[in-house]
Amino acid sequence: MLGGPMNLGLPNPYWVTRTVEYILRADHLSKHFPGVQAVDDVTFGLRKGEILALVGENGAGKSTLMQILCGVQRSESGEIYLEDQAVSFTSAYDALNAGISMVFQELSLVDGITIGENIFANRQPVGLFNNIKWRQLRRVTKELLNRFDLDLDPTTLVKRLPMGKQQVIEILKAISTDPKILILDEPTSSLTEAEVSDLFEIISSLQQEGMSFIYITHKLGEVFDLADRVMVMRDGKYVGSRSIGEVTEDDLVAMMVGREISDMYGDTAQLETTQGEYFQVEAFSRKGIFQDIQFGLKRGEILGLAGLVGAGRTDLARAIFGIDPKDQGKVVLEGEELDIHRPQDAINRGIAYLTEDRKGQGLFLDMTILENLIAPVLKEFTNRFGFLARKEIKEDVFTRIEKFAIATPSANQKILNLSGGNQQKAMIAMWMGIEPKVIIFDEPTRGVDVGARSEIYHKLRELAEAGTGIIMISSDLPELIGICDRILVIHQGQITGEVSREEFSEELILAYAAGIKNRNQH
Amino acid sequence: MTEQEAGTETIRTNSEEGGLLGTFRRLASFREFVLLLVIIAFTIIMSLASPIFITRLNIEAILLALSVEATIAVGMVILLISGGLDLSVGSTLALVGVVTGLALTAGVSSPLSIIIGLLAALSVGLLNGSLVAKLKINPFITTLGTMITIRGLLLILASGRAVLNLPKSFTVIGQGRLFGIQYPIFILLILVVAGDLLLRNSRFFRQSYYIGGNENAARLSGINVDLVKIFNYCLVAVLAGTAGLMLTGRFGSSSLTVGTGIELRVITACIIGGASLSGGEGSVLGAFLGALFMGMLANALNLLGVDVYYQSFITGLILILAVVFDVLNERRKASRA
């Protein structure tokens, strides 16, 4: 490998431009898991002091590649060069000591211990007999917190912190080893807008201190807000990398999917203007969560609920569906007031709620597609002896798997083994079993890659055209603007704005969402 | 603030409440403190109800009675914190008694017999720990298996009979006195103090919190998860063995059925003391106070002439109450945040 700079006919030949200083180079890395080539001959470089965004669909191999770089996985072939030295890590701890630190998607914090002990996990300053020096631990933690203007007590238990702060602590933990390279895997997926901007500020200040970053994300907006360069992976392979100045969002999507997606969202509805609302939510309130929510839904309409994380949209949906209590409020369907106290009441009247927490609350991960799809409709497939009608179930399930284009070798595949997009399609298929009149869909494309996303949008439009009203909650503004017929904006539990398709603009919706604009205060 | 006090620093929170009430609130969020208050209140009430409750003889009786459970609880709570569980401690306790007894009757010297007994316990710990850590078998199933297996092994070893007439040089462990106080109580108190200090301040022991809190993250922090887990299983087994030696010494004979059901009483004490079956929480002091409370309760019911059947009934209620208290407490805090 001493020969180094020679042209192997690869894309982006970094060795040609020797003026650029690379802190990390990966050379022909490969890794396969049973049945899948997760990382396929990937060669790329990370420049010193840059933020390199890494994008690609689910299953493109981003996470595996990063796990190789930070020592969690071993590559089967290829080399890693850190500051031009070949390195080989046997554990994440090795990589950490060499200066590569990673913030994983799942939080790695322990709830029941303090901020200080979390940040300096297993690296607490110790004295004689391994005894922890508490005062010193508190001091170094405080210094670290002060450096990022965080007014927190190092002895606060982590479980007392809000989600966003926990994410920041997670990052402090990763940088407390003073790494040269920090790898972040979708760090903003559960943060509010304000928390995201705080996080970006921290990242920028670390960049100025000379730290280099690899930033995995699904949100293309973040790529343009934060990164210097972006690298795309698909099917385990390196597709290419571009400077931020010379690439558009459409280019990236095309690189990620490998084809142009011309018609992402499908057609919008041609609603009859004379047609009235068939579903109404009236005077919904729950103290401290949402107040006096009032809106209606027309047949065939896709109504978006926009707002910041924590604005109360999910709470509202859960209250309508009867999961959470409400202080007051009425739900009217086809002119009849519904008496909803528990989810079963809502289901019986034809209301479906598809949760944002697909893995935690939406699906039975360890069970098969078949078992999942019949879960809400078990009663209909039970014969008079109380046994399940196997044959009818199979027929029904096969039809739905086909209709919703769930890619699976069999109906007996465990949900766990499906990709995010297929899981989401399975959840839709599961709820269509109750033949709903109203669908409330919370974050329909979270963790779903671009290709499957487009399929889901088309499916939603199809359902709407068949006469179902859809209420869609999403934190992805371009998505709401792309598919909805009308958008309601919620700010701190109140509807602050209603925007019709002709007026759609990100600026306007954001202004309502942030509470800068309010239709109630003219 | 001295290093010693620093261990309890975790009591401070970022709530800016000042004054006595604030201090009390902060303290009250710690199980050990609440439990201590309950024990003090209980002692006051009982001393009014029965004149012999706080006599030296009775206190000694309480401590002696709980020394076995509490000794094992020191190890069990550390194991629970790291996300483990050991149902085989009762069997291990009996195993050590029988193995040591057999060695003694075969003419082996007392110190050597004790070492042989504890080695038997250590091998149970190694077995449990390896099955759980290396083969990733569920701790409940692993230790349920070893619990039953060892009971069977005992019957085979001792041909179904107890080992009687153990020499004085050995029984002194359970019957001897130092400054007029029985050895088991000394051993227990030393273990509790040492265990609590280590678990609070030693980096090695604190690794258990990380493992119980988030095993993968612990691994990424460079913690040798398997090693710590195996160590914890060995620790609880050796402490169960120590309890077995104390008990065998006290009775002067090794029974095959001794320690039956003790695992659940030990776990109960740990939970009442603030540990959680899902790991990441608990302390040695808490576990000891839990055991102390259960011991005092049993003693009090005896003194008051309450039927022995009520003991189990009331202990169960208290366990449920402690857990309900936890859940409500967490909910209150969550709603305030």
* 3-state SS string for A295-364: EEEECCCEEEEEECCCCCHHHHHHHHCCCCCCCEEEEEECCEEECCCCHHHHHHCCEEEECCCHHHHHCC
Distances (CA, A) of B193 to A311, B189, B333: 50, 6, 31
Q: Which residues contact A143 (CB under 8 A, 6 or more apart)?
A: none
Query: Per the CB < 8 Å rule, is A121 touching B219?
Result: no
Q: Is the pLDDT of residue B3 over 50?
A: no
pLDDT of residue A236: 87
**B101 near B250, Cβ under 8 Å?**
no
Q: What pLDDT score does A35 carry? A: 65
Cβ-based contacts of A165 with chain B (< 8 Å): none
The average pLDDT across A397-403 equals: 91
Per-residue confidence (pLDDT) for residue B18, from 0 to 100: 59
Crossing angle of helices B183-201 and B168-175, in 10° steps, is 60
Q: In this predicted model, what pLDDT tens digit does every residue of B262-291 receive, in sequence order?
A: 999 999 999 999 898 888 889 999 999 999
Smallest CA-to-CA distance from B39 within B317, B287, B297, B268 is with B297
Contacts of B261 (CB under 8 A, 6+ apart): B90
Quick check: A453 pLDDT over 80?
yes
* % of chain B exceeding 90 in pLDDT: 54
* Closest residue to A153, CB basis, from B14, B202, B221: B14
What's the order of all strands across the beta sheet hosting A277-286?
A: A290-298, A277-286, A328-333, A336-338
- Tell whether B333 lies on the interface with A, counting CB pairs under 8 A: yes
For residue B237, what pLDDT is reported? 98
Hey, do A22-99+179-257 and A277-350+437-452+468-517 end up sharing a CATH topology, with the first three levels equal? yes
Chain B residues near residue A121 by CB distance under 8 angstroms: 210, 217-218, 221, 223
- Is B177's pLDDT higher than 80? yes
- Looking at residue A186, the DSSP 8-state letter turns out to be S
Centre a 10 Å sphere on the Cβ of residue A126 and count the other Cβ atoms it contains: 17
Cα–Cα distance, B212 to B272 (Å, whole number): 18
Per-residue pLDDT at B248 exceeds 60: yes
> Domains in chain B, please, with CATH?
58-336 (1.10.3470)
Is the ipTM, as predicted for this complex, more than 0.90?
Answer: no
Q: Which residues contact B305 (CB under 8 A, 6 or more apart)?
A: none
Q: DSSP letters along A392-417, please?
A: HHHHHHHHHHHHTT---S-TTSBGGG
Burial B209-248 (b: 16+ CB within 10 A, else e): bbbbbbbebbbbbbbbbbebbbbbbbbbbbbbbbbbbbbb
Nearest CA in chain A to B220: A92
Q: What is the pLDDT of residue B322?
A: 81
pLDDT at residue A169 is higher than 50: yes
Closest CA to A51 of A213, A175, A204: A213
pLDDT digits (tens, 9 = 90+) for B214-228: 888 888 888 899 999
Q: What share of chain A is helix, strand, coil (3-state, %, to 5)?
A: 35, 25, 40
Provide the shortest C-alpha distance from residue A479 to chain B (in Å): 32
Angle at which helix B31-49 crosses helix B284-303, to 10 degrees, equals: 20
Question: What does the pLDDT look like over A20-49, one tens digit per residue?
Answer: 689 999 999 999 877 678 899 999 999 999
Residue A332 has pLDDT above 90, yes or no: yes
Query: What's the rounded Cα separation, in Å, for the pair A40 and A37?
Result: 6
To 5 degrees, how large is the angle CA B100–CA B104–CA B106? 120
Interface test with B, best of A91, A137, A160, A166 (most B CBs within 10 A): A160
The residues spanned by each domain of chain A are 22-99+179-257, 109-176, 277-350+437-452+468-517, 357-435
Count of H-run helices and E-run strands, chain B? 15, 2
Task: Please give the pLDDT value at position B7.
Answer: 39
B191 to A129, B26, B236, B293: CA distances (angstroms): 17, 28, 12, 18
The whole-angstrom separation of Cα B172 and Cα B184 is 10
The predicted pLDDT at position B155 comes to 87
pLDDT, position B270: 94
What pLDDT score does A111 carry?
81
CA-to-CA distance for B97 and B116, rounded, in angstroms? 10
What is the maximum alpha-carbon separation in chain A? 82
B337–chain A Cβ distance below 8 A for any pair: yes
Distance CA A370, CA B145 (A): 35
pLDDT score of A473 more than 90: yes
Mutation for testing the B interface, residue in A108, A136, A150, A169 having most B CBs under 10 Å: A108
Please give the Cα distance from A246 to B226 (Å, whole number).
49
pLDDT reported for residue A270: 63
Element (H, E) at B292: helix B284-303
Confirm if B279 and B81 have CB atoms less than 8 A apart.
Answer: yes
Give contacts of A109 with chain B, Cβ < 8 Å: 213-214, 217
pLDDT of residue A268: 67
Would you place residue A281 in the very low, low, confident or very high pLDDT band (cuts 50, 70, 90)? Answer: very high
Q: What is the phi-psi region of residue A244: left when phi exceeds 0, alpha when psi lies from -120 to 50, beta otherwise?
A: alpha
pLDDT at residue B15 is higher than 60: no
Tell me: pLDDT of A3 over 60.
no
Structure tokens at A177: 């080893």
pLDDT of residue A158 exceeding 70, the answer is: yes
**Of A410, A471, A481, A392, residue with least CA distance to A438:** A471
Interface contact flag, A122 B12, Cβ < 8 Å: no
pLDDT at A177: 87
| Amino acid identity, position A41 | D
Q: Does B335 touch chain A (CB under 8 A)?
A: no
- Sort out which chain A residues have CB atoms less than 8 A from B13's CB and list them: 153, 155-157, 160
Say which range, A83-87, A157-161, B183-187, B271-275, has the weakest mean pLDDT: A157-161
Inter-residue contact A490 to A294 (CB < 8 Å): no
Secondary structure element (H or E) that encloses residue A40, with its range: strand A36-47
State which of A6-15, A127-136, B110-119, B161-170 shows the largest mean pLDDT: B110-119
Structure token pair of residue A343: 């989810």
For A428-434, what is the mean pLDDT? 90
Which of A133-137, A147-151, A177-181, A458-462 bottoms out in mean pLDDT, i.e. has the lowest? A147-151
Least confident of A186-195, A261-270, B135-144: A261-270
Q: Can you tell me the distance from the alpha carbon of A354 to that of B245, in angstroms, rounded to the nearest whole number?
A: 59
pLDDT in tens, B279-326: 888 999 999 999 999 999 989 988 888 887 787 888 888 888 888 887
Written in H, E and C, the secondary structure of B239-254 is HHHHHHHHHHHHHCCE
Give residues 241 to 300 of B whose Cβ lies within 8 Å of A. Answer: 280-281
| Burial of residue A128 (number of CB atoms within 10 Å: 0-12, 13-18, 19+) | exposed
Provide the pLDDT for residue B16. Answer: 46
Q: Which of A234-238, A249-253, B27-31 has the highest mean pLDDT?
A: A234-238
Integer CA distances (angstroms), A115 to A124, A150, A152, A170, in order: 12, 12, 9, 10
B319 or A292, which is more confident? A292
Interface test with A, best of B15, B219, B220, B227 (most A CBs within 10 A): B220
**Do A157 and B13 lie within an 8 Å CB cutoff?**
yes
Looking at the partner chain, which of A93, A110, A156 has a beta carbon nearest the beta carbon of B222?
A93
**Would the pLDDT of A13 be above 60?**
no
Q: Given an 8 Å threshold on Cβ–Cβ distance, is A157 in contact with B337? A: no
Average pLDDT, chain A: 85
**Long-range contacts for A140-149 (Cβ within 8 Å, ≥24 apart)?**
A140/A116, A141/A115, A141/A116, A144/A119, A144/A172, A144/A176, A145/A115, A145/A172, A148/A172, A148/A202, A148/A205
Taking the whole predicted model, whether its pTM rises above 0.95 is answered as no
The whole-number average pLDDT for the span A200-210 is 90
Contact B207 A153 (CB under 8 A): no
Q: Residue B12: its chain A contacts at CB < 8 A? A: 153, 155
Radius of gyration of chain B (CA): 21
Q: Which CATH number fits domain A22-99+179-257: 3.90.550.10, 3.40.50.300, 1.20.58.1030, 3.10.310.10?
A: 3.40.50.300
Q: What is the mean pLDDT of residues A284-296?
A: 91
Would you say residue B334 has pLDDT above 70?
A: no
| Chain centroid to CA A371 | 26
For residue A140, pLDDT over 50 is answered with yes
- Residue A213 confidence class, pLDDT cut points 50, 70, 90: very high
Are B10 and A114 a contacting pair, CB within 8 Å?
yes
Nearest CA in chain A to B281: A112
> Residues A501, A484: contact at Cβ < 8 Å?
yes
Q: Looking at residue B336, what is its pLDDT?
A: 53
CB contact under 8 A, A131 and B201: yes
For chain A, say whether B6 makes contact (Cβ under 8 Å): yes
The C-alpha atoms of residue B69 and residue A180 are separated, in whole angstroms, by: 51
Contact B210 A122 (CB under 8 A): yes
Instruction: Tell me the sheet residues that pair with A132.
Output: A126
pLDDT value, residue B13: 41
**Max CA pair span of chain B:** 66
**B88 close to A (CB below 8 A):** no
Residue of A nearest to B205 (CA): A130
The CA distance from A296 to B249, in Å, is 79
B1 vs A contacts (CB less than 8 Å) = 135
Query: What pLDDT, on a 0 to 100 scale, did the predictor assign at position B315?
Result: 81
Angle between helices B168-175 and B225-251 (to 10 degrees): 110
Position A8 scores a pLDDT of 46
Q: Do A112 and B281 touch (CB under 8 A)?
A: yes
- pLDDT computed for residue B1 by the predictor: 37
A474-520 pLDDT, tens digit per residue, is 988 888 988 999 999 998 899 999 999 888 888 888 888 877 788 87
Strands A181-185 and A100-103, bridge-based pairing = parallel
Q: Is the pLDDT of residue B175 over 90?
A: no
Contact list, A160 vs chain B (CB under 8 Å): 13-14, 333, 337
B203/A130 touch (CB, cutoff 8 Å), yes or no: yes
Q: pLDDT value at position B212?
A: 92
Q: Which residues of A touch B82 (CB under 8 A)?
A: none
Chain B residues in contact with A124 by the CB 8 A cut-off are: 203, 206
- A277-350+437-452+468-517 adopts what CATH topology? Rossmann fold (3.40.50)
The two tokens of residue A100 are 């590569």
Cβ pair A132:B214 closer than 8 A: no
Give the pLDDT band (50/70/90) at residue B6.
very low
Residue A75, class by beta-carbon neighbours within 10 Å (0-12 exposed, 13-18 middle, 19+ buried)?
A: buried
Q: Which residue has the higher pLDDT, A420 or A8?
A: A420
What digits encode the pLDDT tens for the residues B65-111? 999 999 999 999 999 999 999 999 999 999 999 999 999 988 899 99
Assess B8–A contact: CB distance below 8 Å, yes or no.
Answer: no
- Name the nearest CA neighbour of A132 among A123, A124, A121, A140: A124
Contact between A122 and B203 using a beta-carbon 8 Å cutoff: yes
Q: B233: closest CA among B122, B155, B141, B81?
A: B122
pLDDT reported for residue B222: 81
Residue type (1 letter), A58 = N
Amino acid at residue number A151? D
Per-residue tokens: A291: 């107040």
Q: Among residues A27, A40, A451, A23, which one has the least CA distance to residue A239? A: A40
